[in-house]
Structure 1
Amino acid sequence: MNDASNNPLALHLDSAVDNQRETVLIDHLTQILADRLADRSGAPHKPPWTPRDHVVVGVLPAVAVPPRHLSAPDEATADPIRRPVESLRGTQAPPVLALDFRVRTIPGRRTAQLAVHCRFALYLEDIASYAEHMEYLRGDEAPSGAQARPGELLGVWRRHDVDLPDLAIEVPLGEGDLDPHALSEAQQVLDRAVRRAVDAHFARPEARRPLTAGPQGRQGRRRRNVLPAEAMADEDAFHRHVAALLDRDAAPCAPQLVLSAHAQALDGGDHLIRVSLHNQSDTAQSDWQDLSVYDCRFAVLPGDGISIVPQRFHLAPRDYRLEELAEVIGRGTGCAAVPDGSGLRTETLPVHVQRTVVPRQAGVRHPQWRELADDPAPILDSVEVAMARYSREFAAACRAAQQLPHHKAIEADRAQFDDEARRFGLGRECLDLDPDLKRAFQLANAVFARVNDGRTYDSWRLFQLVYIVSHLPALAAREHPQRADLRAELDHTDVLWFPAGGGKTEAYLGLILTALFYDRLRGKHAGVTAWLRFPLRMLSVQQLDRTLRMLIAAEELRVERGIGSPHDDPFALGYLAGGAGSPNDLHWERGWWRGWETEAAATRTGTFAEDHQRDRLVITCPYCERDSVRLRLDTDAVRLHHECAACQRILPLHVSDVEVYRTLPAIVISTVDKLTGHSWFPEFTAFQHGPRHRCAEHGYFSFPRFGACLAGPSHCTAPSRGYPAARPIKDPVPALTVQDEMHLLKEELGAFNAHYEGLIAELQSGAGSGLPSKVLGASATIEQYQDQLRQLYGRRPRAFPAPGWTLGESFYTTTRPDLRRVHIGVLPHKRRKADVAAIVQGELLTEIARLQEEPKTLRERLALHGLPDSDLPRLLFPYEVSLAYVNSKQHGTQLDEELGQLSDDLQHAGLDRVEHAVLTGEVPVPDLAAAIARVQREHLDTPRGERLRALVGTSVLSHGVDLERLNLLVLAGMPPTAADYIQVTARAGRTHAGLVVTVYDPVSRRERSMFSNFLSYHRLLDRMVTPVPVNKYAYFAARRTLPGIVLALLHDAARDPALKPPPEGADYSKDFKRWWSTQRPLLDPWLERRIPACYRERVEGVNGRGLENDLVARIMDTWRQEERPNLNKGAEEKRTAYLFLQQPLTSFRDIDKSTSFQSLTSSQDAFKALATNTADSKGGEDEPQS
């Protein structure tokens, strides 16, 4: 059992020098953690240290065995070694360290000869010195808040390692049952080794024993472990009293560590063998010793004529590329099973290494942005040639696999790649077909070159370039709808599936920029070009900042090159996420927004910017790069600006919902639940039809607000001749819809989203050119995506990019030996997962700070590998920030308190305090933005005590957070799903090699199983993702979405002159009732036709008609028998939304509210009262607080 030779962090000489240096650092940190969690340094520990409280892995504790007459017969007699580990929970049976593995022997052999190499540690006490007693009594070593007891005899725990390399055992393979204690010879060797270690320790005079009774007690009876007060007078008195009171006759016990093995016959003549260690010591045997055994490890080596046969991991997917990874050497209990030569061994701190996936050159001309901006043809030619060459190689691999079981699978993969090559060729054809599209593509590349000028990268990754060009036909279809092959691209939903941190955002941003320029070049002067959506609470402030920077550069280039007309709207970004993070409407109080009157007063007194320092979504100015962005309220324009105090530039960012409706910015970023806005805000109709009017002061609108524009009558007086008509927008439907983090659209959220996606598709079919948006998705974690996409969008599903026929290799990527990420697993004994996570985070923070002060150890380790030891501060700086991920706010609070104590301790030790932040779902988006910006802008010149060095976060940090300095990650328990785990762990190691430590919950059966299968789970991690559960056919979900869908359709109908709508639209019941009562013969058949379409597939044949027909029939019955009759009631309700039997969804989180213990009616009444009361206070204006 040579741990050094099995080091997964051994340097790979083909990796980059900087990566090797980072590997040495991570290896050092890994050993630091091993020393802390398993105490492998061997150093003695001062009081009050005890192994019971500090050694947390590899522990086989002594157990309290109840008297036989109190034990149930099966508990007293059952063999715990043969019982599944899960059955040991909650019993008195001892914990087990075990390996299960399959063996194959020479036919006819009756026994299996195995060699077992055992290692473990005993902890035995010495008497602490007088100086250590006095140090403890002074409080230097006392635990925080503890009260030292004068006269207590203290011990110093010493570790005694026992190493038994040659324990030979024979395991019977016949039908007879093996007594687990029958391995007598090996067991005797084990017993003697334990006894020798105990006897050798207690042969020393300083060994700590119990005290005998003093003059105040009965002779021979032991007292509490307390010396008289006079014993502490001086050192001589201390030694004199200890010598007099120490019970030298007390006989020490030796832990009863038992080695067991048995075999079970399997089909085919193989056998399943289980070798285990367990501790049969009874805590009642000694009240003054620790009979637990620590840091237990063992290895098993098969003898002659025996081989260990790998088994298939039961969760491994059937993928021909993964066949080798799908095999496991064995399974551990209380450990992971890892290969060790021709045998296997236990590993209580398992390590898995992820290598770096990098773009493949594939003979392609370097895809530099500047060259593509000048002339894309040479680079695109080289890509097309390379794709053709790879297709031929793929075909050869298919021919070689003709007689193999996976032949059909590899053919399917080849067909997927060939289709990508076809679409890339079609994209190139579109560049030749449409000069405006070609110019737009060149301008998009010029923007990327400008934004990234001076950085170390200057080009696309291969998959990004192919992705963008392949989707150009979807843009060209809007100008050339007569081309069936281009129009067909809109019938597909394409998901970009690429690992986290691989460049998905840049890929779809490149396509969005192309679409922006193309829209302006083809005459679309205003309106939304791209709608970028995120699941609930996953809207990343970093992606907002990245998109804003690209948009600003695009607008500057548009003006410089004279793209479009001087009267065209400038490119702008809309942040449609009103709620806690930004206002819905500047009139109403919501979250941090205090309402118009209060905020306007703060503007007049000059305190507004200071009051809202923490509420900025953007801190660093994209124009001048200074951290001087502030919020400013423009009371005349009724606008909330992000303005730079340094350069006086206003950022083209609209952060309230109503401002987004008033400006129709080129890019809109929102959460998915903003789709419910189609029901509550009639101005959403401009997303399909464009606006009706334009106020010179306050922007677009379609339905007047109490006779005025959207600013309201208190801020705008309508012109005597009315507001002028808005200039018609060419093709107002957004060209692109991009759904990021698509894997999170599941369950109720997915079903609600599917119905509203059907609504949007139906609305788009009757607006503008009649062409739908091109729907794109992106995710790092998908599995069986086809059904999810079919249900969500009713279109044909596709994934990009296609895999290759070899694991880790494709046309787009290859795998390098450079270290990307190191995973370590910890299954703690006795301690809770949050406690141990706090220990791990504290150790990492402390060691990095120590190395910054005293780098000698790191220099020596680098020199040992012949690596340069220069500029160590630069090497250590990316490892300063650690993130502790928690699954509950309670654990977040605990780790926050632990970091506070650690900060005090480090400051006391001269290593500076630790600035830290807790980021949960309750933290406002601006606070999250401030913490991220702080990590990004701090550098080595910032005093260490002022740098943010520790984060505690929940799932709010698991998506879209990309921090170069975040490379140490600790998880307090596993996230709910493999997809969540992938997303969380991808926060570390994005630019530098990362270290991820997962502390598993020992109480959870699921997490114990994951720990036992640690290596297999991580090798197959991407395929551990479960399919996303979505059921759009659930009547419950459709019943909840029906009212909102009908109301959105009514708002859309109010834009159709043929239906004779009121100018004010259908938002208010008095206007709607007048329309409904007079135009019912027109509206009824119109709704009868359009409601079913919202619940049906958009492309025929994508989904089965049976389930759709059933759902449509039930939902139309509900409409006709329940909801439609309810619309006939009196107009006592102020808004039309409240006429429905069930009010329209205000967000996709409404389902959560309905599960509370309040009645649904009271919740609706509260919502209605909030809107109505606010409206009354504003003279009749109102807006729901969704």
Structure 2
Amino acid sequence: MSHIKNREMIVETLREELVGPSLRGKPRNFAGNVHFNSSEEAYQPYQQENGEEVVQRDPPIVRYGVGVLYPIGEAFEGEPEQEADAEATQEEPAIRLVDDTFKKELEKAKEHAEREGEPDDDDLELPTYNTLKPSSMGVSFLAELPTDAVLTVTVLGGQYRPKEVTVMDREPYVWWLRKPISFEVGFNVEQLKVNSKVAKVFDAEPLKLSVEVFIRPHQSHHLVTVTLINRTKGATSGRAGNEMCLFQSELRATVTTPKSNAHILPYPSSPQTAFDEEEESLALLYRKRQTFAVGHGCAADWEVSSGQARAILIRSASLPAYETPSITPDIERENGIRLEVPMALLAGLVEKQDGFGALEEVIDRYERWINERTQEAATPELFPYHKAAVHHLADCRSAAKRMRDGLDYLKRTPVAKKAFQLANHAVLIQQVQSKRTLREARFDRSNNRYKFLPPYALPEILNPENPNVGRWRAFQIAFLLMSLQSSVEGSHPDRKRVELIWFPTGGGKTEAYLGLVAFAMFMRRLENPKDTGVHTLMRYTLRLLTAQQFQRASALTSAMEHLRQMRASELGETPFSIGIWLGGATTPNHRKAADHALKELERLGRGENPFILSRCPWCAAPMGIYEGSLPKSIPRALKILGYKRAEGTVRFHCPDRQCEFHSGLPVYVIDEDIYEVKPSLVIGTVDKFAVLAWKPEARTLFGINRLGKRETSPPGLIIQDELHLISGPLGSMVGLYEALIEELCTDRRSETATAPKIICSTATIRSFRHQIKALYNREDVTLFPPPGLEEGDSFFARHARDKRTGELLPGRRYVGVFAPGLRSIETAQERAFAALLQAPMPFSPEERDPWWTLMLFFGSLRELGTSLSLFQSRVPDYLKAIRQRWGLDYYEMRRLRRPEELTGRLRNDEVPKALAKLEIACNADNMWSPESKPVSSPPVDVCLTSSIIEVGVDVDRLSLMAVVRQPKTTSQYIQVTGRIGRKWWERPGLVVTLYNPKNARDISHFEHFRSYHEKLYAQVEPTSVTPFSPSVSDRALHGVMAAYAMQMGNEAIQESPQPYPYELVGQLQTILMPRVRSVDPREANYFEEVFNRRAREWQTRERTKWYTNNQSEDIPLMVRAGEFVSSERERLSWKTPTSMRNVDAECQAHITMHYLADNESEDSHA
């Protein structure tokens, strides 16, 4: 059975548990007296002879909580009581569904969550909404209502009748027999127009169901609201209450005339006086994604007429589902062969071929596509969107021209062609090497040495084992061609143009900009082999992503160094190298700290590994702690692979003697080493740049010597990944410091200053021009690939379709769970999680794999901690209830053996281990069975995650996720859910979002479920970046001032802030004020006021120390923001950031007797 069919079965299992009906068991006649001669006979699941459901255990009002309409005005009064039945008397054997390891890991995670949990969010709660049980549901839509039109409303649902059954000689038990409800009512349009509200009642004793229709004019049409209300009188407590509820409720509406059944129009959006350029663009791209209805107390769904922008049917949805189309970067020629460009050709590794013909083909096909879209834009259908269409196609033509200019540049510039060939060669090697599986280290006791399996071998780059490596996707090579010349020529017109790669998760953005990095670094060396130092700054926001990309970039750097060693006469004697520049909590900032960390690893043979590198980036030999056993006579230091003390620091080398990097790897993680070596590529988080105010030695990264003079070229390329995360308070701080960083990266040694080239990438973006202007003060920005005329086709990125039929291929399916009848979102979680965990059990071990690991995302650690307790008892208990209802044998039940946590509290070295566990696939050997032995490495059952997984978690086997509550932003929702279903062509993803029925925002998202998911990328909220706002100026401007003096000043200034550096402070003000006036002129006056105030404080306070420890009597110019200091330092020193993020101040408590003095004072005045 295919994974796609299995996915549908999982959704149906979820529906069965939350909505019903559950049709399991063998048919039985329930007419007359029903008697069972044994508990075993009664214990089995049954259906009625007509195929309808029999609820045997809990009454329906307890069993189901989704799609239920209760009697009107009925209030919740605690949880409904469960009734005893024949199954409850069945003796239940002790079943262990949760093993001890699972329990221990849950307890550990729960402790961390409770300790580190965030405070409650400030989302609007609706207490009144939750006091009354839902008694109505409805849909609203816009329709044209000609005089001969008929509005037809169909109601579907289920009613449960009690049935007493007897088991042996015991008292009767109550079971419940489902009776389907289906009726249709028609409304005359003329009557509706006269009365505006019409109701029709349907009796199904004791149920009274009312279908009520409201209409109101809207321009030349009418807005129609159709509601279904349970107007039954009576309380739902006790047995009778079950009969008063409508279960599995569904509402359908059509508007028909004798000539047509398509009279439902797109739902009107909120009136808007004017659209900006971006809104016009979105209207064009999503013009075929119309909303036809909104839900009230339910979600709305619809069926669209073929070839018309009209709907023929509106329906309510209690468990809505929508499948977002898959995006593919693959472009196929007419003969079905992919349009790809082999790197070996471009690297010059194939005789008499330079690969330029393949590049010509990419450009030619893109230009042909643009011409076809230009013709399409002239059609009447696109006339309302003409302005946006013209703008989009102009951007496309500009991109095509820049690609052709880039190709021409390679053809006419020999040195550029050489750099391009080397870059392709290096990326080809990197891709082949990165696909190698981690080699195995074994200690050979015969000679007391390690051996590595498989044996070392040079990369086979012309005939790689993996056929998917060594080929550029069309968008990747197109981006390279566009950006080549401006990345290496400081005077190029596009040098200050920011390139923004916008592509969905998993499309290959990283490979695209790594290719550009390699080209630019080779180009600098070819032009001047002695021009060494840092060439590229690559910045991220999250340490998980930073560490992961460091592994990938290290492989590229090793490949580049391999090529340099072969061409030292051309590329110079200085190695290509890479450094990771992070905070001290992640990597050692000092050599002493590194030496101490290595000693601890040697002493303990376990624990935190701050050295990041866990495998040789060249040959995949393992590095770090050896997991095997060693003879007692062997020194403990030999248990550490690949790290060694040398020249007063800790160096990396490949532990395999056969590897060409056995003597040393060009990789650095210690800050002091990075400042000394000045690696070609430096990767870090944006936070790290706050240390520029504290570390004068960081100037070496920008080519500046101790005298404040530039001795090498500064970084010429800045890569900012995941741009959407550079927003809010973090983005504003980054924007302020960015003015400093750009100046440090600007080469002013010639008459014309050369600014760095900036490349950004993201998978989700809105208002990118405003964001880039605020961050980088650059007007020109190119979004690549530029959009075409619809969201499903930009030439370089298209909706994936079946070659034969043209139908959309499977995408990621989203399912919404809104369960007001279950009272709490925790109960909804318990039932949904149990259903999702049990659902794959009927599949074969290989078929289970995509659905075995349930990824759970929580917006806060507080919510994660609440849900952890569910897995300790409530979820296992519900799994047992499922077993009883379904009539399963014990070996058919889901056992929980391995939980995993992936949150920000994990240590850096724990994250790769957690990801490795997630890679373990299901197979016949690691599945539980009554005969099986304990498995040391079973696949993960449940992985509890937080925002850390937004980026950098790329595990192809994962296809199942539950999201607890709507995430704070659409961007986060897209990024998080993009972690599953990455191999959509084989195992498409399933996302179940659980909405909180007490939360207004969650309710709104549920009621607009299809509309929201149909235009998911269009729903991304604009980012806010205000780098020169008063709060940012007050908090950090003095840090930028100190950093500029610290980095640009001479040795005397580095030692002391006195004498006051008039010239440097004046230079900085000259640099900053034009930027402020350009980015946010409204803040210019206040910004200048703060600058001048800080300058006066610096000058008049005459501090002789930049900073001191708390024991010193000297009052320094700066103290660390958030650090506890004396009141005097608090008043007289600058609280200066050491991070770009908000830091709460520390506090110290001490016992005081002041209150006694206060009391005495009060007494004396009494």
Q: 1:900 to 1:501 in 2, by over 3 A?
A: farther
Residues of 1 paired with 2:1000 and 2:167: CA distance?
Answer: 47
Letter matched to residue 966 of structure 1:
L
Encode CA deviations 1:164-220: one digit per residue, 9 max, x unaligned: 14333446656765776x52xxx2xx31xx33xxxxxxxxxxxxxxxxxxxxxxxxx
Give the corresponding residue for 2:563. 557
Give the corresponding residue for 1:17. none
Letter matched to residue 763 of structure 1:
L
**Equivalent pair of 1:475/1:515 in contact (CA under 8 Å):** yes
Give the corresponding residue for 1:348. 318
Give the corresponding residue for 1:764. 745
SS of residue matched to 1:753 = helix
| Aligned with 2:590 (options 577, 585, 588) | 585
Q: 1:272 to 1:939 in 2, by over 3 A?
A: closer
Give the corresponding residue for 1:798. 782
Q: 1:524 to 1:99 in 2, by over 3 A?
A: farther
Give the corresponding residue for 1:870. none
Give the corresponding residue for 1:113. 150
Residues of 2 paired with 1:402 and 1:176: CA distance?
Answer: 36
Give the corresponding residue for 1:499. 504
| Aligned with 2:912 (options 929, 933, 941) | 929
SS of residue matched to 1:539 = helix
Q: Given the two structures, how large is their TM-score scaled by the length of structure 1?
A: 0.73
Q: 1:288 to 1:350 in 2, by over 3 A?
A: closer
| Aligned with 1:1087 (options 1059, 1062, 1065) | 1065
Give the corresponding residue for 1:1113. 1088
What percent of counterpart residues are identical?
23
Residues of 2 paired with 1:285 and 1:292: CA distance?
Answer: 11
The offset of 1:537, in angstroms, is: 4.8
| Aligned with 1:883 (options 855, 870, 888) | 855
Give the corresponding residue for 1:474. 486
Encode CA deviations 1:1135-1154: one digit per residue, 9 max, x unaligned: 653497422210012x3415
How is 1:650-1049 mapped onto 2 (pairs within 5 angstroms)?
652-690=666-704, 730-731=712-713, 733-765=714-746, 770-796=753-779, 797-815=781-799, 816=801, 817-831=808-822, 832-852=824-844, 873=846, 875-899=847-871, 912-936=895-919, 940=923, 943-944=926-927, 946-992=938-984, 993-1049=988-1044
Give the corresponding residue for 1:272. 224
**Equivalent pair of 2:19/2:248 in contact (CA under 8 Å):** yes
The offset of 1:645, in angstroms, is: 5.5
SS of residue matched to 2:141 = strand
Encode CA deviations 1:470-500: one digit per residue, 9 max, x unaligned: 111123305xx4xxxx1x2221222111112
| Aligned with 2:13 (options 32, 40, 53) | 32
Give the corresponding residue for 1:539. 545
**Equivalent pair of 2:612/2:909 in contact (CA under 8 Å):** yes
Letter matched to residue 795 of structure 1:
R
Q: 1:444 to 1:154 in 2, by over 3 A?
A: farther
Once the two structures are overlaid, the 10-residue window that deviates more, 546-555 or 617-626, is 617-626
SS of residue matched to 2:182 = strand
Give the corresponding residue for 2:35. none
Letter matched to residue 61 of structure 2:
R
**Equivalent pair of 2:9/2:839 in contact (CA under 8 Å):** no
Once the two structures are overlaid, the 10-residue window that deviates more, 950-959 or 823-832, is 823-832
The offset of 1:1134, in angstroms, is: 7.6
The offset of 1:642, in angstroms, is: 5.9
Give the corresponding residue for 2:342. 368
**Equivalent pair of 2:19/2:67 in contact (CA under 8 Å):** yes
The offset of 1:419, in angstroms, is: 1.4
SS of residue matched to 1:668 = strand
Give the corresponding residue for 1:568. 574
Letter matched to residue 1153 of structure 1:
D
Q: 1:1112 to 1:434 in 2, by over 3 A?
A: farther
Which stretches in structure 1 are left out of the alignment for 5+ residues? 1-19, 68-84, 134-150, 196-253, 589-594, 693-701, 704-725, 854-872, 1056-1060, 1160-1186
SS of residue matched to 2:251 = strand
Give the corresponding residue for 1:447. 426
Q: 1:64 to 1:914 in 2, by over 3 A?
A: farther
Which stretches in structure 2 are left out of the alignment for 5+ residues? 25-44, 46-53, 77-124, 273-278, 306-311, 349-353, 433-463, 626-639, 802-807, 881-889, 928-934, 1107-1112, 1120-1128, 1150-1166
**Equivalent pair of 2:969/2:1020 in contact (CA under 8 Å):** yes
**Equivalent pair of 1:46/1:157 in contact (CA under 8 Å):** yes
Residues of 1 paired with 2:983 and 2:962: CA distance?
Answer: 18
**Size of the alignment, in residue pairs?**
942
Give the corresponding residue for 1:456. 467
Q: 1:691 to 1:882 in 2, by over 3 A?
A: farther
Residues of 2 paired with 1:984 and 1:690: CA distance?
Answer: 41
In terms of Rg, which structure is larger? Answer: 1
SS of residue matched to 2:821 = coil
Give the corresponding residue for 1:1072. 1056
Residues of 2 paired with 1:508 and 1:553: CA distance?
Answer: 16
Residues of 2 paired with 1:909 and 1:900: CA distance?
Answer: 20
SS of residue matched to 2:140 = strand
Residues of 1 paired with 2:973 and 2:215: CA distance?
Answer: 36
**Equivalent pair of 2:613/2:623 in contact (CA under 8 Å):** no
Residues of 2 paired with 1:997 and 1:170: CA distance?
Answer: 40
**Equivalent pair of 2:163/2:177 in contact (CA under 8 Å):** no
Residues of 2 paired with 1:62 and 1:813: CA distance?
Answer: 51
Encode CA deviations 1:820-866: one digit per residue, 9 max, x unaligned: 2111111112333344344334323322233126xxxxxxxxxxxxx
The offset of 1:1092, in angstroms, is: 4.0
**Equivalent pair of 2:140/2:223 in contact (CA under 8 Å):** no
Encode CA deviations 1:1011-1038: one digit per residue, 9 max, x unaligned: 1111111111111111111112312202
Give the corresponding residue for 1:295. 248
Q: 1:421 to 1:1124 in 2, by over 3 A?
A: farther
The offset of 1:964, in angstroms, is: 0.3
Letter matched to residue 657 of structure 1:
D
**Equivalent pair of 1:496/1:800 in contact (CA under 8 Å):** yes
Letter matched to residue 830 of structure 1:
G
Encode CA deviations 1:227-267: one digit per residue, 9 max, x unaligned: xxxxxxxxxxxxxxxxxxxxxxxxxxx23333322322333
Residues of 1 paired with 2:843 and 2:271: CA distance?
Answer: 42
SS of residue matched to 1:259 = strand
Letter matched to residue 862 of structure 2:
Q
Letter matched to residue 64 of structure 2:
V
The offset of 1:154, in angstroms, is: 7.8
The offset of 1:600, in angstroms, is: 6.2
Q: 1:432 to 1:473 in 2, by over 3 A?
A: same
**Equivalent pair of 2:812/2:989 in contact (CA under 8 Å):** yes
Residues of 2 paired with 1:154 and 1:1043: CA distance?
Answer: 81
Q: CA RMSD in A?
A: 3.5
SS of residue matched to 2:809 = strand
Encode CA deviations 1:1080-1119: one digit per residue, 9 max, x unaligned: 4xx3133112234135439xx9646x33642542233222
Q: 1:121 to 1:658 in 2, by over 3 A?
A: farther
SS of residue matched to 2:248 = strand
Q: 1:259 to 1:394 in 2, by over 3 A?
A: closer
**Equivalent pair of 2:967/2:973 in contact (CA under 8 Å):** yes
Letter matched to residue 265 of structure 1:
P
SS of residue matched to 1:822 = strand
Residues of 2 paired with 1:836 and 1:926: CA distance?
Answer: 35
Give the corresponding residue for 1:395. 374
1:309 aligns with 2:265: yes
Q: 1:410 to 1:748 in 2, by over 3 A?
A: same
Residues of 2 paired with 1:966 and 1:957: CA distance?
Answer: 13
Q: 1:410 to 1:903 in 2, by over 3 A?
A: same
Residues of 1 paired with 2:827 and 2:569: CA distance?
Answer: 59
Q: Given the two structures, how large is their TM-score scaled by the length of structure 2?
A: 0.75
The offset of 1:1072, in angstroms, is: 0.9
The offset of 1:957, in angstroms, is: 0.6
Residues of 2 paired with 1:780 and 1:600: CA distance?
Answer: 38
